[in-house]
A and B are shown apart, each in its own frame.
Chain A
Amino acid sequence: MGFIQDNLQMFLQGTLETLYMTAMSTILAYVFGLPLGILVTITRKDGLWPHVKLNAALEWIVNIGRSIPFLILMIALIPFTRFVVGKGYGPNAAIVSLVIGAIPFVARLVESSLAEIDHGVIEATQTMGASNWELITKVYLPESLPSLVRGFSMTTITLISYSAMGGAVGAGGLGDIAIRYGYHRYEYDVMIVTIVLLVLIVQIIQCGFNVIAKKIDKRMIKQ
């Protein structure tokens, strides 16, 4: 196992960078994407706070964001990234474009989670005299929590693969290692290790979130 030992430091650093990029960008993507998804939902014609023009504008932003391939978005954002974090490469630079790329994705996932809630439950709460804020915080979000957790898991996994793509522009992380060694230097053994590591990370995250989503979902329990 001399090969692994020689490169242990590199794999460890790559793994940590990937985890760091994924965690930070997922959290930040939700900071912006969750309110955006809620806003898109409530401003619809039949929503809690109908604003057709605002809704059309938000839909447009989300659709544009969803249609730009991530690799291209990342390259296009380099000047902006340089402005925000001071340089166009490295994990922090990658986080900027990962967040921007993921916000529309998160908004759509949040929107579809909220759409799962029966409209009757919303109306029943309205008849109790709840305000829109109470409807969002006490009905929409808690009732769709299991679905939101599944979406969060999907976002995390998507961002792992996006962060690996970031390797193409020197983002650091496992993707960077795979591209530098596997693609440019034909060191397939290094590439295979990164693939195994990526697969392991994804599996662990997916299983973990699935267990959580199942545990908190009270719709399926039986006596």
Chain B
Amino acid sequence: MIRIEHLSKIFQSGAEVAALKDISLHVHAGEIYGIIGMSGAGKSTLLRCISLLEQPTSGSIILDGHDMNTIRGKELQQLRKQIGVIFQGYNLLMQKTIRKNVAFPLELSKMPKADINKRVDELLEIVGLSDKAEFYPSQLSGGQRQRVAIARALANNPKVLLCDEPTSALDPLTTRSILDLLVDINKKLGVTIIVITHELGVVRNICQKVAVIDSGTIVEQGLTADVMGNPQHEITKLLISTAGGR
């Protein structure tokens, strides 16, 4: 589904900073893949490269056979619709109702109005917020806002759902319910999910595979059970020991 080959990202702001160094990663269709690391390890830069918000310095990201970094303009906008993204800060439009927020990517895709309404109802049903359609984001809790963001990210039937610290601003109970929802979406809709997080609990709970990232390189990757059961790298051990029982 997604193949990342020898990806590097160097930031040039005065001194050169290599945020990502030779990252290679394969995510298969239908997987839930975790990318875990400490703050500043390069997780967010990696996600920004996959979501095309950042241009890699070298290497390639291949989505379903399309090299995403050679595509420009209209085609790029089309390709972007294959990837839904949710963020730690939800990033909803604060002046629009929940219905309008979820309808927004569909409007951008020029879907007819009647179809949009039907699709929004479906999506709100999936995330369990059918009764909140006419509310505004300011009237919802953090967990509910993240559900709206998930509905919005799924609107165009993406093949991949990218999640950037999706539960890091939520309490444990709400975290649980959002993770359950992600698993549910993965099973029912067959969407491939990539979760970027610093929370080991998230990886343990929902990811079949995991990559541990540190100082811009992947230090360990494989099945979650193998990596967690027999950690090889210092950082992995540290993540496990500091996470406690979670």
A interface residues, Cβ below 8 angstroms from B = 118, 120-121, 123-131, 134, 138-139, 142-143, 145-146, 216-223
Contacts and interface: CB of A to CB of B under 8 A. Distances in A.
Contacts of A129: 76-81, 105, 108-109
| B-side interface size class | 20 to 34
18 contacts: A121-B92, A123-B53, A123-B87, A125-B104, A126-B53, A127-B51, A127-B83, A128-B80, A128-B156, A142-B96, A145-B95, A218-B96, A218-B136, A218-B137, A219-B138, A221-B138, A221-B139, A222-B139
Contacts of A216: 95
B95 A128 contact: no
Contacts of B51: 127
Nearest to B88: A120
B46 to A, nearest CB: 15
B89 interface: yes
Given A120-B87, A218-B95, A127 B139 contact: no
Interface of B: 51-53, 76-81, 83-85, 87, 89, 91-96, 104-105, 107-109, 136-139, 149, 156
Given A118-B91, A143-B93, A127 B53 contact: yes
Given A121-B92, A218-B95, A219-B94, A128 B136 contact: no
B85 A127 contact: yes
B94 A128 contact: no
A142 B95 contact: yes
Contact of B91 (A121, A142, A220): A121
A142 B96 CA distance: 9
Q: Which of B80, B94, B109 has the most CB of A within 10 A?
A: B94
B108 A124 contact: no
B95 A219 contact: yes
Given A128-B156, A129-B76, A143-B93, 13 more contacts: A120-B91, A121-B92, A123-B91, A126-B53, A127-B53, A127-B80, A129-B77, A138-B104, A138-B107, A139-B93, A142-B93, A146-B95, A218-B136
Contacts of B92: 121
A198 B152 CA distance: 49
A217 B109 CA distance: 27
Contact of A130 (B95, B108, B136): B108
Contacts of B84: 127
Top 7 A-B pairs ranked by shortest CB distance? A124-B91, A129-B77, A129-B80, A120-B91, A128-B105, A218-B136, A127-B85
Given A120-B89, A222-B139, A143 B108 contact: no
Contacts of B94: 121, 143, 218-219
Q: Which of A120, A143, A216, A221 has the most CB of B within 10 A?
A: A120
B136 A124 contact: no
Contacts of A124: 85, 87, 91, 149
Nearest to B109: A129
B213 to A, nearest CB: 21
Contacts of A123: 53, 87, 91
A113 to B, nearest CB: 13
A129 B108 CA distance: 8
Given A121-B92, A126-B53, A128-B81, A223 B139 contact: yes
Contacts of B136: 218-219, 221
